[in-house]
Structure 1
């Protein structure tokens, strides 16, 4: 039944910004299944899918995972809750990125601040759904920001001649790196290391980065590879940014360190004293 639920989530992902009626959802769902029908397909009684979503929830709980599919009023809400950033949202973000000045690209955090401002001003440049997500800093908020960062990085490292294409036609081929601050316990020497981020929808098992030799990409934790320990980041790399080849990375062919005016490092939430680009909000005061 998992493939069936995935098809429902994909239909929700394809819903437009103004698709609110259940018939709009089933228009996309029926196309995915190759069914020529309007509304619910024959044999799928109203609410029949709920038991499948509940079975999926039970399986996740048994495995120690947190289920996220929820229903507000309609049964299709289960599927809609799984489409956090829809294709219409991605397209509006891509157009927004294309409208920004091409010289001196902004950092991910600067872009997010601008998008939040657009949402507060009820800008017509973003979809209603996306504006609501940016205004409501609920339990989904960090996932929303992560999706925006990932799409912006894809846009940033797409050739300018290809950026006019809509977002779904672009295949991401780069990984991004932040910084990891390492302080030697005995000497007190501080080094800043490349800290590669893991892609969200792919698992790299044999990939290596070519930088002063070949360095394997090993998982440090969910979302991050281990720092590249063999050599610290140089002043030139920090000032100008850098790009390094990736071998055996499938679609991912380069690791990029973006050029920044400054870097914001925050302390590890897992209890260590490490400061790195964890992409969390710093505590003030």
Structure 2
């Protein structure tokens, strides 16, 4: 064993957690022995007779343990590729928390957590490992490095510290999710309900949520945690896909499943509008698969083989001619041709779709199923006519609003689908409201109480920065009237600006006037939101060059649509 093994695991974990994930997504380091085995076999290509967990543990031990003492300075900072070196160790610490939760305890004690962590590190005794004494913040430095790097890459970190004895161990505890016993209970539910067809994550989550009172207390708590909805939906979907891959056995599998790549891709909706003709068109918008790069994929669609080409992180380019009301009613299952073990591209039949503005170019007028709406963000609902009564209920309860002339029939008034434009969430008081379609409520009910938006200014989007002197305005959206705002200079490592009792839902300026990387944090009533801001001077910007051109397919013809530029 040597440092090379550690760096290989570290790089593989980064690839698994971030490849194919849309920017703006929340990132949880949910890890268990099953996932360690999967990464070892599929990323490091370890032989099947190698114990992957021992290989992983030893790679960490050989890198940070010196004379029975933990030295985390060895893994601080970034590697030559600009990626944090700490992820393999952080993943091991999450694995320790996961193993503790397997004991079905309500709370994970500091003593028991460190006993488990020391066992994974090959150390004996009780209490904190030597070199990680309380108050040294040695492990917190690594979590902050990881969180800030994620923000800089355009993702949302989710690890946070606690209070009291759990101040630092709350970081790994906050990343744990489904235990093995929870996976078994979910499989029991799939068997009981006979859910033997592949469902998209959102639909499956809603079906499971409707059975919440039949599930364990731990699963109930997870399902009620709005902040983890998207991640939990993906985790439940993953368990379901593995159950399908095993042939839908009628008894719970009392062993760790040998995880395999999912055999299906899913597609959402990409919406365009011709402002002159007033025509709205929807296209299939395929999602990339988490954890691996997929190239040379072809889809049998509309009597043609169409290649899937990458759009932005997490998505392929829209394909084919516009979809119609029948496609929305019935869904699509399209055959994939590739060198991978992929079978279908599935466009699920659903009662509604939620479309949000382009996160990279919100002024473009493009909407798609990129994710759930942020607080303060306007979005579009495409739904069946019979959901209008539910939406009007939400409107009457002042939970949701839309533009006065925002109702539109994209296929004509004789068809079953409507579009509602300019929607916006108004309140968090959703608990006592029960529309007929619970999936719609789950999708629209806000998952956070605060969010930060950077608006205007001169943004250099491909370099993920703003030009110094033309910095953006800030607006904190939230359900509290006031928040406290802090700005941290990440290079100096300290807070440089504090604003107390800043009004929410109103723009304000930070007036930083200095190039650098900053963390903006808004907080109120134990809730907080963070965002990353990079300001660069003219001479710090990279010169843009035209690297490639992109040919967009429109119908059966091709037209030159735009240049792809790299900065």
Q: TM-score range by the shorter chain?
A: 0.7 to 0.9
- The runs of 5 or more residues in structure 2 that have no matched partner are 1-74, 76-85, 374-380, 382-398, 402-567
- Structure with the greater alpha carbon radius of gyration: 2
Matched, 1:199 2:289: yes
1:103-118 matches, within 5 Å, as: 108-118=201-211
8 Å contact from structure 1 (residues 207, 216) kept in 2? yes
SS in 2 for 1:160: coil
1:13-162 matches, within 5 Å, as: 13-14=98-99, 15-16=101-102, 18-19=104-105, 20-22=108-110, 24-26=112-114, 28-30=116-118, 32-33=120-121, 35=122, 37=124, 39-40=126-127, 43=130, 45-47=132-134, 50-58=137-145, 60-61=147-148, 64=152, 67-72=157-162, 73=164, 74=166, 75-102=168-195, 108-119=201-212, 121=213, 123=214, 125-128=215-218, 130-138=219-227, 140-152=228-240, 154-155=241-242, 158=245, 160-161=247-248
Residue 233 of structure 1, CA deviation? 4.5
Residue 57 of structure 1, CA deviation? 0.8
Bigger RCO of structures 1 and 2 (CA < 8 A, at least 6 apart)? 1
With over 3 angstroms needed to count, the CA separation of the structure-2 counterparts of 1:236 and 1:118, relative to structure 1, is closer
Q: Which whole-Å CA distance do the structure 2 matches of 1:194 and 1:162 have between them?
A: 33
- The runs of 5 or more residues in structure 1 that have no matched partner are none
Count of residue pairs the alignment pairs up? 273
Residue 218 of structure 1, CA deviation? 0.2
8 Å contact from structure 1 (residues 89, 127) kept in 2? no
Residue in structure 2 matched with residue 241 of structure 1 by the alignment: 332
Which of residues 307, 320, 345 is equivalent to 1:256?
Answer: 345
With over 3 angstroms needed to count, the CA separation of the structure-2 counterparts of 1:242 and 1:261, relative to structure 1, is same
Q: Which whole-Å CA distance do the structure 2 matches of 1:194 and 1:82 have between them?
A: 33
Residue in structure 2 matched with residue 213 of structure 1 by the alignment: 305
- Cα deviation 1:217-254 (Å, max 9, x = unaligned): 3032x4332222x44447479626313225255xx523
SS in 2 for 1:219: coil
Richer in helix (by share): 1
Residue 177 of structure 1, CA deviation? 1.6
8 Å contact from structure 2 (residues 270, 369) kept in 1? yes
8 Å contact from structure 1 (residues 91, 167) kept in 2? no
Q: Which whole-Å CA distance do the structure 1 matches of 2:256 and 2:246 have between them?
A: 13
8 Å contact from structure 2 (residues 160, 174) kept in 1? yes
Residue in structure 2 matched with residue 4 of structure 1 by the alignment: 89
8 Å contact from structure 1 (residues 195, 226) kept in 2? yes
Richer in strand (by share): 2
Q: Which whole-Å CA distance do the structure 2 matches of 1:260 and 1:233 have between them?
A: 12
8 Å contact from structure 1 (residues 197, 225) kept in 2? yes
Residue 78 of structure 1, CA deviation? 1.9
Residue 260 of structure 1, CA deviation? 1.9
